[in-house]
Amino acid sequence: MMSAQGKQKRLTTASIRSMKGGGRIVCLTAYTTPIARLLDPHCDLLLVGDSLGMVLYGMETTVGVTLDMMIAHGRAVMRGTSHACVIVDLPFGSYQESKEQAYRNAVRILQETGCDGVKLEGGEEMAETIAFLTSRGVPVFAHVGLMPQLVNTAGGFRSLGHSEQEAAKIRRDAAAVADAGAFAVVIEGTVEPLAREITASLAIPTVGIGASVACDGQVLVSDDMLGLFSDFKPRFVKRFADLSPLVSQAVEAYAEDVRAGRFPGAEHTFQPRK
């Protein structure tokens, strides 16, 4: 999208919503300025996900991520983008207490990062909060199906929708967040027929992660997609690169050169001016 002056305009939440039934939405996670700069030209939407707790901080789950952490990384990503719509996760404990708490913290994220909207997990139980936020000018990206913030009560990470009871709950959740005013919804870890059914039933776009190509778009954790984790690959991840061994090889070569006195060389050294 170009302005009259020829300068590229940032995609908005309205732009993403308008992609329903059109082009597929390309979404990846971003947590830092350098990576955001690399992803920005190719993505419609960048998500500053609370997955950063596991990806960057070595946490076992996302539960320990704080609002301050999300704001710091949201700022970093905004510095590296000019095209993609940027959404920042509301972390666990920052919105579940009340719709007023959610509004205060969402506004803080918007004001302190300059991002385009927030994402929160939850279906029917969060519909009132989503309506409260959207009616007051806070764009909301919803999230149903597998919800990582509820891992402690859900019994771990697993695919959902296998039973009719599970499927009915996810259907109700998706309908509730759409009716409440979310501009789009993530469907995570959900069986393909159910994801396809929900996508067809909603007027807003669905963005899948482990929910099949039936969704209107896809999101992956960038570090997973780039192969920066060598020890674990979820079933729904395709590695489009395998950077982990390349990083290891580069560090090994650096260490060998330092220990052998080959680095730094004369070309890397400052000499007195004559």
Q: What is the DSSP letter of 190?
A: B
50 is in an annotated binding site: yes
89 is in an annotated binding site: yes
Catalytic pick among 125, 164, 188, 256: 188
CA distance 89 to 77: 13
Provide the 3-class DSSP secondary structure of residue 50: coil
**H or E element, residue 119:** strand 117-119
CA distance 67 to 54: 15
**H or E element, residue 99:** helix 99-113
119 is in an annotated binding site: yes
CA distance 115 to 132: 19
Residue 2 buriedness (CB in 10 A; 0-12 / 13-18 / 19+): exposed
By C-alpha distance, which of 125, 173, 120 is closest to 148?
120
**Is 188 one of the annotated active-site residues of the chain?**
yes
68 is in an annotated binding site: no
164 is in an annotated binding site: no
Rounded (10°) angle between helices 99-113 and 127-134: 50
Whether the Cβ atoms of residue 207 and residue 187 lie closer than 8 Å to each other = yes
CA distances from 80 to 8, 32, 188, 238 (A): 14, 8, 27, 25
Whether the Cβ atoms of residue 125 and residue 95 lie closer than 8 Å to each other = no
Can you count the helices (H) and strands (E) in the chain? 11, 8
Rounded (10°) angle between helices 127-134 and 164-180: 20
Question: Which residues define the annotated binding site?
Answer: 50-51, 89, 119, 121
Just list the catalytic residues.
Answer: 188
Binding-site residue ranges for 3-methyl-2-oxobutanoate: 50-51, 89, 119
